Amino acid sequence: MVGVKQSMHLAAAILVVCGLKVRGAEAQAGQSLAMSANQRGSAASARARLEVRDLTVAAALVRLHESSGVPISFSPTMFPAAHRVSCRCQAVTVAQALDSVLKGLPFTHWVQGGQIVVVPLPRLRSDRQEPPEMQLVGLRRLEATGEIIAQMLKTRQPATLQSITQGGVVAGTVIDARSVPVEGARVSIPGRTGDALTNAAGRFRLENLTGATVEIRVVAIRYRPATAVARVGDLNLQITLSEAPVNLEDVIVTGTAGETRLRALGNAVGKIEASTVREVAPVSDVGQLLNARVPGVVLNSQSGAAGTGSRILIRGPASMTFDGYPLIYVDGVRIKGDPVSGPAVGGAGAPNAISRLNDLNPADIESIEVIKGPSAATLYGTEASNGVIQIITKRGRSGKARYDVRVRQGANWFMNAESRLQTTYWKNPATGVVDSLNILRLERERGNPSPFRTGHLQGYGLDLSGGAETFRYFAGVNFDRDEGMLPMNSSHRQSGRVNLTMTPSQRLEVNAGVATTVGRTTTYAAAYPSVVYLAAPNTLNAPSRGFQGTPPEVQAATRNLYQDLSRSTANVTVTHRPTSWFSQRIAAGLDLTNTEDVILIPRVPAEFESFFSPTGRLGSKDVARINTRYTTADYTGTLRLSLTKTLGSNTSVGGQYYSRLDETQGAVGEQFAALGVQTVTGATIRTGTENFVDNVTVGFYVQQQFDWRNRIFLTGALRGDANSAFGSEFKAVKYPKLSASWVISEEPFWKLGFVNQLKLRAAYGQSGQQPASFAAVRTYTPVPGTNDVAAATRQSPGNPNLGPERGKEIELGFDASLFDDRAGINVTFYNRRTTNAIVLREVAPSTGFDGSQFVNAGELRNKGLEMLVTARPIQTQSLAWDVSLNLSTNDNKVVRLGIPGATFLPVGFIPNRLQEGYPVGSYWSKRVVSADLDATSGRAINLMCDSGTGAAPLPCATAPPVFLGQPFAKVDGAIATTLALGRSLRLYGLVDFKRGVKHLNTNPLILCAFFLLAEINYYPERFPATQVAECQQGLAALGTSFIADAGYVKVRELSVTYDAPDRWARQLGASRASVTVGARNLHTWTKFGGLDPESHSVSGWLTAPHTEAVLPLPAAVITTISLSF
Amino acid sequence: MCRYRCYPRANLATHRLLDRWLLIGLAGVGAGCNTLDDLVSVDPPDRITAEVYEVPGNAPALVAGAIGDFECALASFIVGAGLTADELMVTGGNVHRYSYDRRSFAASGLLGAGFAIATCANSPNGVGVYRPLSTARGQADNVRILLEGWTDGQVPNRALLLATMAAYGGYSYLLLGESMCSAAFDLGPELTPAQIFALAEARFTQAITTGQNANNSDIVNMALVGRARTRLSLARKADAATDSRLVPVGYVKNATFSSSTRRRNNFVYSENRTDLVSVESPFWNLTDMGVSDPRVKATDTGRRGTQGNVPIWYQEKFTSLSTAIPLARGAEAQLILAEAEVAAGNLTAAVAIINTLHARSGVGLPPFAGGTATEVLSHIIYERSAELWLEGQRLMDIKRYNLPLVPPSGTPYPLGGVYGNETCYPLPDVERNNNPNTSD
């Protein structure tokens, strides 16, 4: 009996031919192939008997060959390693047995020269009578492969390509359209033996060639096959592969229900090939990796400070109360991905926006998948209505050890700060003279250093990967040290990751990974930029030199804010396939995040004492340690059955346990006893706090999928969750899901030749958003009572009926590749309703409760269109041009508040509302539509304001606040393009944009309405009277003067990448060397009058994005050197 | 230990099927648990569920907590009302206090309705009045009702605790009546200040009666001063005098503070010493009959606020974060009595009271010679402004005596805009929108 061992031998034999070495296996390959190679004729109709259970496809094919005597050529590496087959095929033909073995896989088989070859079918239409080009390539190659195998087995000698080839040589490089090397591409010559796989640098070499020229064929996963005519002896041939715009065989990690091929998915899933992006784009954190690459995934930058991150919003705001952050998974384990943390001083605009997502090293990431809404995220349950981001880290590949070295050097700065800063004004009452001040210019003229600096960016990384089939490894370390534009602002991060893949048997695969990150982000007090932005001409001769209250060097010397990070993540996934029809997987993991936020205000040195109050001079220290622990346990079992010849069934059941524990300890010391004392212990007044919040979710689901002819897929699922935050009267929640996909282009009736592939899809699903922990119960919280005795005060009235919000989403769309795969388009329409929306209903103070109450009351809606278009208009040997456009729209609206008597709820602290019929968090204020200017007093008079009803304007005193815009963009998108010139040079650019978004432009508001330091205060005649009126009304009528259009078009990324010639790389001992010079944020087109339409404060989820004290996104130039060994 | 999701098993009935379904699934992954509840039960953090906390054994802690709430609210009230009156002013920078100082309020929004949104310990982001006082009032009434439902056997000194809660509740009502244009209680209808004062009076009366039963003069005197102050606001001076006469001249009931937490700080001191608020000009270098008044100590720091145009003066009445603030005292009762004497035509008695206060140790002011009723009343008003400076009395005095606003309405506000003329805080939207018994 030939068993698994022999199948391995065959695999080994073919791998040898393919250029890979599996030591010790070559000489022992069975002879049955050699014998059967002589049997030619009616191979497909030969009788066969195949009884196998839970074997790999390769092993089953060996069995089939043995039982039938028919030679079968194939490459075992083509098949999914995890795929197992079973067959009780008695009295069948070889063709029928092959159909059974290959069922559900994108492969077909052909008879050629008396043998059967098995070839991939990624782009084959089933009704085609002639094999496509790719199949011919494989056919010829594999025919030749069979001959080599026969020769090899006859001689029983270890075979290598070199041992059986001599003569002329062709060598070269396989790259993609952006000139990025393609690793693992198969290079062959039709009609002749011997092929090769490309290495990390995309290099290949074919020998023993005859004649003057040869035709070279290249096949690689995700790419269209390519052909090139090469001169024998050409050692620098370059072959460019075009990426297939739609890959229905791509495997999507849907997390809960196991891997799924794209063709079976009824939802849109955004996917970012991180390694590909990083080849050209100057990205140094995960946020930059995500930005502007997946339609519907919107990143809202907050600050230009080093170490800060962005908020991620998928398909618009899904909640009226809770933040809209998606769940984050790394290798199947839920991790902390909160975008806002860090020490903050200064209230509005405080730079507390350190993103936990950026603790991950982007160089460790293989790919990112974005599951956008409830229709796709149902199985993730009660916390997934904001979407899910799955991050898949790199795994080792079998083969010799490979080293990758990266060095990043760069700089970032506040571009054109002097001209972007608002000039301030003041009228000296003694002289009547109006002084104007550009504080940066004045400081430069005074010879003083700028408050802003050019920050040095640097990073160093080393990866190691390799292994054998049974044990593979990836290890990476990274060190980053970035300085921000402020002298105290920097971010240091060191990280390491080890991923192991073990395959002790064909039935068992274990993936395990550990990662750790430590670092420190030093941030700044909000006052530092504010003293510059709000410069005061009236204090030019004061110690503050014209800065607002305090010169920046005093701020720098007396404020020390930083966050220390220590983070470890571990994950293990065991995949077990005990039978051919059943597999199961269990994943477990931990994510431990320990941060320490420190706000140290040292005792003020004598020379700066005059700037501080007697109490303020004494200093203070606030230390907050937050330990967060995420625990994941996830089980999935999948049952696969063939119900009929054309109807398959796939049943999954699973359960998850997630817990999150936040422990916080705080210590505050005030009034240091002496200079130099900087510990809480050394403070005169010391207080401590402790708190913890624990939350547990337990869920269970069942999913059933039917497929018909591998073209139509129907999926239904139901999930149930219980959560510790639900009220006592609310026990559990159930979420249903239904989806369908139809690869219509594979139907026999499909006639549209220019459409290569078309998949239609539709999905409906629900998921939830859990309430805040402990929102359900009436609570007290400990506080010191009178005379400091232990006591408590009433905290929350609670709501025992509280349950999760429920997101219900339907999405419709299609994925198509067009014009011989030169263009691809993905279009999705979504409509999501959040019902039982949790509203943070303010509690009437008269109840005696000091706070708010969560109630399931409201409803909101998000709908929009997402589109991704990719095209390759030009592709020649010397020039390739790729362009892509992603676009998403979002139309969100509060449908119903559900609070009797209330048509709106105020959110935030100035003008934002949740108002029925309007976007979430919309801006409301009075808008002056006409006014006159009293030339004598300089005051606006006869103010008339928008009535809000379309009727005639009303006197502003009685006019209502009117809708002035929304804080979330209506349209978001990006255009990216890559131009590859020749072999070595790639030019890349990405421009992204937002439309239909408003921000509160705070600094001009403060200057004109509160500090009276704006030009409009002293030269009102230079401005429209309505603007003068809104300035003088201040917060009472923000109008369009301060609620400003924050749409923009930004040149986000530009780069030039140069791949060094091989000989240069070899001189370094490397297989590949490349240099990328990139830039970020070089130019912005916008109507926004503030420093940057993107950066804004983070004081609340729905709070008006406003600009006080925030830093603009810096311009940056970054050079990256990459070497592979 | 009771865990967070411990609730009666019977409640599970409605979802028993799903529960069982989930458990079947969980059994498949080897969870090994008895019920779904066990799995999702977690320990509560620093929060304490009401059902656990509101028990007779915690009566002293409940009372201490309620008093703590009031003391915190009182300090915020003194700052807010002091800004609205002429005792304090904003130095600049922090816009959250402008509305108080500018005497211009809104029904919503943190900047216009900070009085309704900010909590008592919310510095530096605001100064609360309506919310913290409502919380203190609710706490006091809640604990009082709990005490009434318990027995003397369950709660030692129950009568005293009851009287205490009634007295502090009375003060919460009183301060709300003095500062709010209208207010509501326990989701009830909107009440006028007079109606609010009536509720305060009832609480004080209960405190006096119960305190006398408990034989505790401290609480009785506190309630007497509170009721006298309430009756003064109701223009029932004779009734106020009756209460005032019963209070010893040396009596003082303090609100206590400490440096332990921000919530326990003397907020008047911390607001002033962190340069957020300054002493307003009417109380700079205050003299009484040409002699510097030792009761109003304020010093010029020589510095100015962040915008460079508001001088920073420090008050010296409270000298630390833990300095107590008088809530009710005999001197106040005497001034109430003096005012009643003027109303009754007993000018000599009124002048005698003033001079008794002048002659106290630590004051040492020359005697007041007296004059017409108007002159005596005018001097009593001065006496109140000085004697009760930064004790939360000035705003009501301005309203009660219709004193001129300083600076006058319409004067440009140094930090932008102009001064208004509002001396009470409107019923905020947070109450109106969430209380079904208030009109829209």
| Residue range B366-402, pLDDT digits in tens | 999 999 999 999 999 999 999 999 999 999 999 999 9
Q: Do B46 and A793 touch (CB under 8 A)?
A: no
Q: Do A1010 and B22 touch (CB under 8 A)?
A: no
Q: Do B53 and A792 touch (CB under 8 A)?
A: yes
Partners of residue A774 in chain B, C-beta under 8 Å: 4, 44-45, 47
Q: Do B431 and A846 touch (CB under 8 A)?
A: yes
The dihedral region occupied by A709, where left means phi > 0, alpha psi between -120 and 50, and beta the remainder, is: left
Query: Does A974 score more than 80 pLDDT?
Result: yes
Partners of residue B306 in chain A, C-beta under 8 Å: 548-549
Cα R_g (chain A), whole angstroms: 33
Q: Do A695 and B429 touch (CB under 8 A)?
A: no
Confidence of residue A1100 (pLDDT cuts 50, 70, 90): low
Q: Do A774 and B45 touch (CB under 8 A)?
A: yes
* Facing B41 at nearest CB: one of A616, A724, A906: A724
Confidence of residue A425 (pLDDT cuts 50, 70, 90): very high
pLDDT of residue A612: 85
Number of H helices, E strands in chain A: 18, 57
pLDDT of residue A107: 76
Q: Do B307 and A536 touch (CB under 8 A)?
A: yes
Query: Does B212 score more than 90 pLDDT?
Result: yes
**A457 at the B interface (CB within 8 A)?**
no
Query: Does A777 score more than 80 pLDDT?
Result: no
- Cβ(B338)–Cβ(B355) under 8 Å? no
Unique residue bearing structure tokens 């809660």: B165
Dihedral of alpha carbons A1099, A1103, A1109, A1115, sign = positive
**Euclidean distance between CA atoms B204 and B391, whole angstroms:** 19
Q: Do A779 and B44 touch (CB under 8 A)?
A: yes
Residue in B with minimal Cα distance to A1033: B417
Burial pattern A890-914, b for ≥16 Cβ within 10 A else e, equals: bbbbbbbbbbeebebbbbbbbbbbb
Confidence of residue A865 (pLDDT cuts 50, 70, 90): very high
**Euclidean distance between CA atoms A450 and A440, whole angstroms:** 7
Percent of chain A surpassing pLDDT 70: 87
Q: Do B131 and A845 touch (CB under 8 A)?
A: yes
* Facing B130 at nearest CB: one of A699, A845, A847: A845
Q: Determine the 3-state secondary structure of B364 from DSSP.
A: coil
Q: Determine the 3-state secondary structure of A281 from DSSP.
A: coil
Query: Does A123 score more than 50 pLDDT?
Result: no
**A229 at the B interface (CB within 8 A)?**
no
Backbone angles phi, psi at A404, to 5 degrees: -125, 130
Confidence of residue A982 (pLDDT cuts 50, 70, 90): confident
Q: Do B112 and A1035 touch (CB under 8 A)?
A: yes
Residue in B with minimal Cα distance to A531: B306
Can you tell me the ipTM of this complex?
0.89
**Chain A to chain B Cβ contacts (< 8 Å):** 278
Partners of residue B219 in chain A, C-beta under 8 Å: none
Confidence of residue A731 (pLDDT cuts 50, 70, 90): low
Confidence of residue A1103 (pLDDT cuts 50, 70, 90): low
* Facing A781 at nearest CB: one of B46, B110, B111: B46
- Mean pLDDT to the nearest integer, B313-323: 95
Q: Which of A929-933, A1007-1011, B408-412 has the highest mean pLDDT?
A: A929-933
* Facing A848 at nearest CB: one of B44, B141, B303: B141
- Mean pLDDT to the nearest integer, B318-326: 95
Query: Does A803 score more than 90 pLDDT?
Result: no
**A923 at the B interface (CB within 8 A)?**
no
Chain B closest-CA separation from residue A584 CA (Å)? 11
Check residue B436 and report its DSSP letter. T
* Facing B44 at nearest CB: one of A697, A774, A845: A774
Partners of residue A902 in chain B, C-beta under 8 Å: 433-434
Chain A closest-CA separation from residue B137 CA (Å)? 7
Mutation site, B306, B315, B322, interface A, largest A CB count within 10 A = B306
A316: number of Cβ within 10 Å: 29
Percent of chain A surpassing pLDDT 90: 39
Residue in B with minimal Cα distance to A695: B42
Q: How far is CA A257 from CA A70, A168, A172, A712, B246, in A?
A: 38, 51, 42, 19, 80
Residues A680-719 pLDDT 10s: 998 888 888 888 888 888 889 999 999 998 899 999 999 9
pLDDT of residue B269: 95
Query: A858 is written with which tokens?
Result: 């409201």
A197: number of Cβ within 10 Å: 18
Query: Does B13 score more than 60 pLDDT?
Result: no
Confidence of residue A727 (pLDDT cuts 50, 70, 90): low
Best CA proximity match to A1084, nearest among A1113, A1104, A1109? A1113
Chain A closest-CA separation from residue B68 CA (Å)? 4
**B185 at the A interface (CB within 8 A)?**
yes
Q: Do A846 and B134 touch (CB under 8 A)?
A: yes
**Euclidean distance between CA atoms A446 and A417, whole angstroms:** 17
- Cβ(A144)–Cβ(A193) under 8 Å? yes
**Euclidean distance between CA atoms A323 and A300, whole angstroms:** 13
Confidence of residue B50 (pLDDT cuts 50, 70, 90): confident
Residue in B with minimal Cα distance to A610: B303
**Euclidean distance between CA atoms B86 and B80, whole angstroms:** 11
pLDDT of residue A167: 61
- H/E stretch holding A607 reads none
**Selected residue with higher pLDDT from B211 and A378:** B211
**Selected residue with higher pLDDT from B266 and A1068:** B266
Q: Do B98 and A1010 touch (CB under 8 A)?
A: yes
Residues A593-642 pLDDT 10s: 999 999 999 999 888 988 888 878 899 999 999 999 999 999 999 998 98
Provide the mean pLDDT of chain A.
83
Chain A closest-CA separation from residue B342 CA (Å)? 38
Partners of residue B22 in chain A, C-beta under 8 Å: 698-700, 720, 722, 732
Partners of residue A697 in chain B, C-beta under 8 Å: 40
Query: Does A420 score more than 60 pLDDT?
Result: yes
Query: Does B221 score more than 50 pLDDT?
Result: yes
**Selected residue with higher pLDDT from A1005 and A57:** A1005
For chain A positions 660-699, those within 8 Å of chain B (CB to CB) are: 670, 685, 687, 690-699
**Euclidean distance between CA atoms A894 and A906, whole angstroms:** 13
Polymer length of chain A: 1125
Partners of residue B40 in chain A, C-beta under 8 Å: 696-698, 722-724, 726
**B144 at the A interface (CB within 8 A)?**
no
- Cβ(A332)–Cβ(A587) under 8 Å? yes
pLDDT of residue A800: 76
Chain A closest-CA separation from residue B225 CA (Å)? 20
**Euclidean distance between CA atoms B238 and B219, whole angstroms:** 22
Query: Does A842 score more than 90 pLDDT?
Result: no
Chain B closest-CA separation from residue A1023 CA (Å)? 19
**Euclidean distance between CA atoms B376 and B387, whole angstroms:** 16
Mutation site, A700, A907, A1038, interface B, largest B CB count within 10 A = A700
Residues B100-151 pLDDT 10s: 999 999 887 767 788 888 888 765 567 899 999 999 999 999 999 999 999 9
For chain B positions 360-399, those within 8 Å of chain A (CB to CB) are: none
Q: Do B98 and A698 touch (CB under 8 A)?
A: no
**A1091 at the B interface (CB within 8 A)?**
no
